[in-house]
Structure 1
Amino acid sequence: MFDVDRGIYVVADGLGGHGGGGEASRIAVNSLTELLRDANFGAATLQDSILKTNELILTHQKSETHLANMRTTLVVLWIRDDQALWGHIGDSRLYLFFKGKLITQTKDHSVPQALVQAGEIELNDIRHHEDR
């Protein structure tokens, strides 16, 4: 979802293997878009909005037992004037296209990414890792 006028771009990918992934992603997108819409631009505001969105999903999980395992990844880009802020959860990524090249702006929150950072596997091995 995006709000071009306010520079808000949100992508959430519900985890298909868990009941309610679609619901979790819907809550995440709607909540973040609403929280940021008229907020003061800043890193603390973005972080607080992501945390509030997480709390909203957790509250929804507790109130709907069939959604107790709902999960989603998230990436949000917030642009004002000549500044951009972003945040993410999970393995949804943000890229910058610059001078004909894609440059990754985020690192996955995953076991394989931790293994890459520890030097135990190569970056190209993430796609086929069993814990991806």
Structure 2
Amino acid sequence: TKGKAFANIAKDFFKEAKVQIPNFKDFNDDLKIAKAMNLDFSYTKEKVHHILKEWEKHSEFLNRSWHILKPEAKRAHILEINLKEIPLFIALKPKIENYLPTKSLEKSYENLEARIKKEREREAMEKRAMRQKIHI
């Protein structure tokens, strides 16, 4: 509200002034999002939404391809998602969740995290079984 009031005052004072509306809550959030996502400041909400959709596709691809990917490829995808995408999403979520849909991406990450946990548990059981065979 205060920003709109100031914009009206500025338009009265500077006759050729153009009012620019932030993409998200305010320009500070816009700058933080642009910096975090390595975007130029002329980005749009649609660009951020597109990036979120790409992250979701990446996560869904890994979920769907889990059993056919080679271990090295699987590890590379997991590292990219866990070290880059998820931390960035967690940091930006409070700034974007009221402006863009985030639930499907969250659900995709939850499914992937459950799959990773299940895989680690299976690997741990196999290691224990191998150790028991060695001791017999």
TM-score in terms of structure 1 length = 0.27
Asked which structure has the greater RCO (Cα within 8 Å, sep 6+), the reply is: 2
Instruction: Flag the structure with higher strand content.
Output: 1
TM score, norm. by length of structure 2: 0.27
Q: Which has the higher helix share?
A: 2
